[in-house]
Structure 1
């Protein structure tokens, strides 16, 4: 009996142990499953380590060289083009003939007016003879009438002479198109035998005054680079035809404020809307080998004097005037380490459109900065790394 009772107790204990082990296993399983399920629902973030160093300022821009002085020369009288004396790209001197026009109609009109002047002169001579005859006859009444007629004829003669002088001056001025200054013929629209269609017959640029390049850039970037008027700047002229690419020196001719623009999502801090102050950089280039229209680029690089943590602008968030970032903080848990988003207030020392430098005491080496999150974050939120 005692052996039977002892066997029953051992079996009971064995069953109790098995049940306890089963319950413990189930408890561990559901605990792990619930943590795994919870981790799947956590905000997913993309993070990277911040780099320490100086911020690099880069100004890159390009444009087309335009002449400082350019003249559009139209057909002065709308006459038919008789002869084109220049070609595009040709260098010309001041006063050089460019176009000769068919002035036949104007010359015919001038000849008619000269004939009219001759008729008036002959008529005046007749009135003068009448005046002399009235004086000889002593007819005072006839003399007064002839005297008035003589004055009228002289007025008509003077008017006709002025008209002829005007026509002759107009003919001399409009029968030819001449260069107002020495330069390069940029465009020729005139066609021999045809009347101009409304466009200028010749487009000429003044090579002696040089060329200009206009570039729009971030105003803060220009200030950081220390650019100023009369400062020399290196330019890169693109290759064209047989002419290889080359460098030349220009001079900053002016820096003007322009209207601001809204930053893109990549430029704005944390996607927040921002306004970027714009400036126009005007550069003067003087080189006799240029013809205008060349593609020119500017590339300036300069590093900041100070150093700090370089943070991509997409990682920076705003609350009014305050700015902050989220870093990844690792904490120990009962079932392993967990990751938490920790809010770090920052003060920017220097920045560009792509990155911002913050003081070196705000982070430690190796810490991860959150660049992007699947959900809005709050300080202390648990997260999962991408």
Structure 2
């Protein structure tokens, strides 16, 4: 009875398929050999008249001031935020041993002068006496002359030693090397300072003019137009655009494979602060061309970014670096030329040498 029910059910199913539906073909339809992969092309054209790169403000001049000699801070004439002029006294140090050494050097110099004066006078008298034949032995006159020259040399040596100690003593008075603002103070009165200190006593910056430092990526170094003005906008002041020219460039790449350029920014009102960030529009040469590919042509893995180029009907993996991006395309740098055929929607499963068409 059960077997009869199964046969009836199968017959009913076959009858329904015959009358109401066509048989379903579950086999995969063969694809045309030229449509196995979706292909695109590399386009060469001018992408933009400028490139946007972040920059940072740096003081035009900055100096960290250390003590050249060991001593105690006697007086501190400045504090953080103080405006100073070139030559102003910033710090006065006290070192009693240096004062004693200077006094000793001064005394030796005075003594040497007295000895030299006495030697010179003795030689003068002997020379006058030698006018009378036989009054003075020639060797005595020669000895007096040698002693006079030796004492004069001693005077010069002692004078040099005294001036050297005077210069060392002047290290106890710290003056501003240029006009600017004290932005950091790390000492107090009574502190022991010296050349071995880790931190500077004070930090002085010239802020009337600042340097806007921008690092140009290697890919754009030869495309930057140094003669055209640049525009920049500070993050702290959105919507306020400034214009200037590139003042100087390093003409060398840093360890990050980029070239540093600087833009001088006037800051007489002290509105801008070192450390501020800005977005800088760097103008590019009008003849500069870029290679563009569709965004979906770039394959990204943990190791690299690449594009699969079609070379004589086979896949060839080309490692690239990305540049500027638009909504549908990306600027790339690599061993590609305009018109090269590439695979769209590629994956890292496509191996080198895979037949494409």
TM-score, length-scaled by structure 2: 0.59
Runs (5+) with no aligned partner, structure 2: 1-6, 30-37, 39-45, 287-291, 299-306, 315-322, 331-342
Secondary structure, counterpart of 1:69 in structure 2: strand
Deviations 1:173-193 (A, max 9, x none): x12121222122233344432
Q: Which residue pairs with 1:314 in the alignment? A: 296
- Which of the residues 43, 65, 78 maps onto 2:57? 65
**1:298 CA drift (Å):** 0.9
**1:231 CA drift (Å):** 0.4
Deviations 1:307-328 (A, max 9, x none): xxx974223653257999xxxx
Q: Which residue pairs with 2:178 in the alignment? A: 181
Distance across 1 between alignment mates of 2:125 and 2:222 = 91
Q: Does structure 2 conserve the Cα–Cα contact (< 8 Å) formed by 1:237 and 1:297? A: yes
Secondary structure, counterpart of 2:105 in structure 1: helix
- Which of the residues 232, 241, 252 maps onto 1:234? 232
Secondary structure, counterpart of 1:166 in structure 2: helix
**1:71 CA drift (Å):** 2.7
Q: Does structure 2 conserve the Cα–Cα contact (< 8 Å) formed by 1:315 and 1:371? A: yes
Higher Rg = 1
Distance across 2 between alignment mates of 1:116 and 1:20 = 132
Q: Which residue pairs with 2:89 in the alignment? A: 97
Distance across 2 between alignment mates of 1:219 and 1:258 = 11
- Which of the residues 150, 157, 160 maps onto 1:159? 157
Deviations 1:128-159 (A, max 9, x none): 67667766693435454444333332332232
Q: Which residue pairs with 2:336 in the alignment? A: none
Distance across 2 between alignment mates of 1:374 and 1:125 = 95
**1:235 CA drift (Å):** 1.9
**1:101 CA drift (Å):** 1.7
Distance across 2 between alignment mates of 1:323 and 1:57 = 36
Pair 1:296-2:286 in alignment: no
Pair 1:285-2:265 in alignment: yes
**1:282 CA drift (Å):** 3.5
Q: Does structure 1 conserve the Cα–Cα contact (< 8 Å) formed by 2:235 and 2:279? A: no
Number of aligned positions between the proteins: 287
Q: Which residue pairs with 2:166 in the alignment? A: 168
Secondary structure, counterpart of 2:68 in structure 1: coil
- Which of the residues 240, 253, 272 maps onto 2:247? 253
Question: Within 5 Å, which residues of 2 pair with 1:314-333?
Answer: 314-315=296-297, 317-319=307-309
Secondary structure, counterpart of 2:245 in structure 1: strand
Question: Within 5 Å, which residues of 2 pair with 1:1-386?
Answer: 22=14, 25=17, 31-32=23-24, 34-35=26-27, 59-124=51-116, 127=119, 138-140=135-137, 142-172=140-170, 174-193=171-190, 194-196=192-194, 197-217=197-217, 219=219, 223=223, 228-238=226-236, 248-254=242-248, 258=253, 280-288=260-268, 289-290=270-271, 292-298=273-279, 312-315=294-297, 317-319=307-309, 352-353=324-325, 355-356=328-329, 371=345, 376=350
Q: Which residue pairs with 1:344 in the alignment? A: none
**1:94 CA drift (Å):** 1.3
Q: Which residue pairs with 2:302 in the alignment? A: none
Name the structure where helix makes up a greater proportion of residues: 1
Q: Residues 90 and 315 from structure 1, CA distance in 2 versus in 1: closer, same or farther, beyond 3 angstroms?
A: same
Secondary structure, counterpart of 2:71 in structure 1: coil
The RMSD of aligned alpha carbons is: 5.1
Q: Residues 286 and 152 from structure 1, CA distance in 2 versus in 1: closer, same or farther, beyond 3 angstroms?
A: same
